[in-house]
Structure formats: structure tokens, C-alpha cells
Amino acid sequence: MTSSSENTPDLHQAWHRAIMDLDLAASDSVALHHGVGGRTLSGPATTADGSPVWLRVMSAPRPGGKAWNGAALADALVSDNVPRPRLLAEHTWGDAPAFQALMWERMKGTVVSTTPDLTTPAKNDAQWWTDLRRALTTLETVPAPADRQVFSQAFVHRIPNHLPEIAEAGVDLNVGRWVASHGDLHWANLTHDPLMILDWEGWGLAPLGYDAAVLHAYALPQPETAAEVREVFADILDTDAGRLAHLVICAEIIQAAERDALHARLAPYARRFATEILTPQ
């Protein structure tokens, strides 16, 4: 019988292969970063002319799919007015499993949080919030492919499985407007000095207000920052569409709490906030 470890692609080996194939250099002691779920590995490198870059490798059972194509599609379709690292190169090899290496320009800013949620209040000035709001408004106008969704309407209809109170409250779960969205807008995917939005592999169509709702949900442990999100995006979040977006991400967090510690610690906040949304005022 083959062990699961023998079936797990060696991302460290893949990362160092990509370094050689792309003619990059990296220190032997470089700190590499595992993505959520362990399917990506990233770290800093330099090009032959000394330019700093960021290299990420991922594996998949076969080439293609939403995550595989996401970064390249974002680079092609999303306006430069949405601040993000520039994709410099893509390199793929293998069939089963397949490997993909993506090389970006090294981000100039600092991540707002080293974890998707907040353990301390985020310290961002008014201009940062203005720039973020403008970026997400611009993103909404991008013509995302119709078959590229962050999740489906069918998934939205299933969220009462994780929040039964939704069914009891008779909430209309039909999404009125789908817009291009980042899809994973948590605090580790944002930088300041300057603002940049990272990790675009999962972007696509989502309910209006979903990105703002995700940002708010992952800020719930820090009420001061959560209130800032609510203020900046009040015209979206304080609507029926915004409330539905909030219920979706709360249900997602509760569902994911069974799988990892991050969402397990967020789940009580998400459940409490969902109850507030569903309680008649």
C-alpha cells in the first residue's frame, strides 16, 4: 500500500527546479512560505540582473482549472488601477501531477497581517482606505468570464446547512448581482506603504459586497478595525445584498472551522455576527 506522503508532490523540490529553469538565484537559507492547505510554496529570489522577485509554485492533479489559470487571467483582464504585483513569468511542467511556477515582481509594501485574521487592530490611514475602496470599485467593472465564479448560486442555497437560522428567518438567498471580485480578500492578502492586493488565483464572479464582507468577517476579532470596514463600505454592506454577502462568508467560516485552527477561532465571531444580521431590529 502506498503511503499518503509518497503521493504528496514535493513542492520544495519543485520550487528549486523552478529557480533553475527560470535562471533565478535564491539563498540556501531562504524562508519558504506554505499556502493554506499546503498546495503552494513561495519565497523570494532574484533574477540574473539582480532584480528582486517572488516565486510561487503549486501542484495540481492535472494542468488547468480556476486556481491554475487565475493569476494569468487577472494579469490579462484586471485594470492596472487595481494595485497588485506584476506577473513576470509563468513556467509549467509535468502532467500527473502538474506543476506551475509563477514569478512576480517583489511587493514593495508590508502585509497588513501575517495571518488572514487580525490579532491586533490594523493601522491604515484614510488614504489607504480610500485607495482600497477605489480598487474594489474598479475591480467590479472587470468583465470576468461567466464560467469563472468564486462560488455558485447552488452553494449560496446550501449555506443554511451551516447557519440554520437563515432558513428560519426566510432570507432570500438568490443573488441579485454578481460582480468581479478578488474572492479571498483577507488581511494577509493586503499590504500597506503602498497598498497592494495579493494572491489572485481564486478571483471571479461573486455577489456584490462579498470582498468587503470577507474583509469585515476576518476583522471581527478586532472591533475597531471591523467598524472601519463597516464605515468605508456602509453603502454596500448595509443593504440586502451586503447582508447576504455577510451571511455567505459567515457560513463559509463556520464550515471551514472543522478543518483548520484559523477558522475555528473565527467561527464564534462569525456565528455571533450572523445572528445580529438575522435578528429583527
Per-residue pLDDT reduced to its tens digit, 48-93: 999 999 999 999 998 988 999 999 999 999 999 999 999 999 999 9
Report the DSSP beta bridge partners of residue 100. Answer: 58, 92
Query: In degrees rounded to 5, what are phi and psi of residue 252?
Result: -60, -40
- Closest of 37, 91, 99, 18 to residue 63, by C-alpha: 99
* Residues 117, 54: Cα–Cα separation, whole Å: 23
* Residues 246, 213: Cα–Cα separation, whole Å: 5
Question: What does the pLDDT read at residue 107?
Answer: 87
Q: Which whole number is the average pLDDT over 17-43?
A: 89
Q: Which whole number is the average pLDDT over 171-185?
A: 97
* Residues 278, 184: Cα–Cα separation, whole Å: 24
* Residues 212, 133: Cα–Cα separation, whole Å: 9
Question: What does pLDDT average to over the chain?
Answer: 93
* pLDDT above 90: residue 3: no
* Residues 9, 64: Cα–Cα separation, whole Å: 17
Do residues 74 and 199 lie in contact, with contact meaning Cβ atoms separated by under 8 Å?
no
Query: In degrees rounded to 5, what are phi and psi of residue 71?
Result: -65, -45
* Residues 121, 192: Cα–Cα separation, whole Å: 14
* Residues 160, 151: Cα–Cα separation, whole Å: 15
**72-77 long-range CB contacts below 8 Å, 24 or more apart?**
73/145, 73/148, 73/203, 74/200, 74/203, 75/200, 77/142, 77/143, 77/144
* Residues 211, 179: Cα–Cα separation, whole Å: 10
* pLDDT above 50: residue 268: yes
Q: Which whole number is the average pLDDT over 156-170?
A: 95
Q: Where are any strands of DSSP class E within the chain? A: 33-34, 40-46, 52-60, 87-93, 98-105, 110-111, 178-181, 190-192, 196-197, 204-207
pLDDT tens-digit map of 86-119: 999 999 999 889 999 999 999 889 999 999 999 9
* Residues 239, 221: Cα–Cα separation, whole Å: 23
- 3-class DSSP assignment, residue 103: strand
pLDDT tens-digit map of 199-250: 999 999 999 999 999 999 999 999 999 999 999 999 999 999 999 999 999 9
* pLDDT above 80: residue 2: no
Q: What b/e readout covers 40-49, taking b as 16+ CB neighbours within 10 angstroms?
A: bbbbbbeeee
By residue count, the chain amounts to: 281
Question: What does the pLDDT read at residue 37?
Answer: 66
Cβ neighbours of residue 2 under 8 Å, at least 6 residues apart? none
Percent of the chain scored above 70 by pLDDT?
A: 96
